[in-house]
Amino acid sequence: MATAKTMSTNEIEAVKKEWISRLSNLIDAIKNSAEGTGWRTRRIDKTITERELGSYKVPVLLMEKDTVEVVLNPVARFVPGAEGAVDMYLAPAYDDIASLYFEGGQWMLHYAERPNPFATQSVIEMKSRPYSNEAIIATLEEMAANG
């Protein structure tokens, strides 16, 4: 991929269009999965500013179940090792974070499950798995249980 200094205006616009489309598809899929298991959802927009792409609007998904609110929040298109990053976290404390990275042509879900307080482990391991409806629902349900 070209750098911002070598990308033409048309290339920059094409990258933004592809990224926003990828985000919209992801958010629509997660919205449908969440609503299918009892979550209420609302889609809003926010502005991101990236050195490579300038300022642009992206969709954000707010999900609520009982007293728990989870936000699916795009971070950036240009991130080390991936072609985009989106965080999913409990609000308002930005707690219990999962991240989705677009890697190798697919979304990968990275989520560190809360450790068992009775276990004798000293390291929390981050699970990484391909995005699926089942993986998102399992992560949402664990976040709700922790919320």
In a domain, residue 56? The reply is: yes
Residue 90 lies in a domain: yes
pTM for this entry: 0.85
Give the range of the structural domain holding residue 47, as residue numbers without chain letter: 9-146
In a domain, 3, yes or no: no
Instruction: Count Cβ atoms within 10 A of the Cβ of residue 63 and give its class: 0-12 exposed, 13-18 middle, 19 or more buried.
Output: buried
The tens digit of pLDDT for each residue in 19-67 reads 999 999 999 999 999 999 999 999 999 999 999 999 999 999 999 999 9
Is residue 100 in a domain? Answer: yes
Asked, for residue 109, whether it belongs to a domain, the answer is yes
- How many domains would you assign to the chain? 1
